[in-house]
Amino acid sequence: MDLALDQARAAGERGEVPIGAVLVIDGTVIAASGNRTREVNDVTAHAEVAVIRKACEELGQERLTGADLYVTLEPCTMCAAAISFARIRRLYYGAEDPKGGAVDNGVRFYAQPTCHHAPEVYSGLQETTSADILRTFFQQKRDVP
């Protein structure tokens, strides 16, 4: 989760909404990324989707069975579904996102009949730090005229 937080901070320094994710298989980091939507002009390049794509490319496979994903914020609806499709084993996330989350808020995708694979979910990992990074980022944006 420390690596994911580093990725979040680095994303914020690039002017992206500061969210970070790290994908691990058997204790080895396979991919790490922050949110990259602005950098690559791709609205789907959230941190989770970015690491899933990197890992699929790295491993030459479509599914990431046995992988664990660490992300600083509760995944949104798009990312929650991508995590399911990739067959990720465990999802660890930091802060909850009542406005956009889809795991313990919103559509609660993993509890739905149209979800065909649900990861084990562990929430609240370093949630204060995760939330502080986001809060500081938006506060600074508001302060800039």
The annotation places the binding site for Zn(2+) at 46, 76, 79
| Residue numbering of the annotated binding site | 46, 76, 79
Binding-site string for a second copy from residue 52 to residue 81, where x marks contact by CB under 8 A and - marks none = xx--xx--xxxxx-----------xxxxxx
Beta bridge partners of 127: none
Judged by CB, which is closer to a second copy: 70, or 110? 110
Cα–Cα distances (Å) from 93 to 23, 28, 37, 144, in that order, read 12, 18, 20, 30
Q: How far is the CB of 2 from a second copy (least distance, A)?
A: 26
127 is an active site residue: no
CB of 1 to a second copy, least distance (A): 23
Residue 103 in the binding site for a second copy (CB under 8 A): no
Tokens representing 13 are: 């320094």
What does the alpha-carbon distance between residue 133 and residue 49 come to, in Å, rounded to a whole number?
Answer: 20
38-68 b/e (C-beta count within 10 Å ≥ 16 → b)? eeeeeeebbbbbbbbbbbbeeeeeeebeebb
Element (H, E) at 19: none
49 binds a second copy (CB under 8 A): yes
Q: Which residues bind a second copy (CB under 8 A)?
A: 37-38, 41-44, 49, 52-53, 56-57, 60-64, 76-82, 85-86, 99-102, 105-107, 109, 112-116
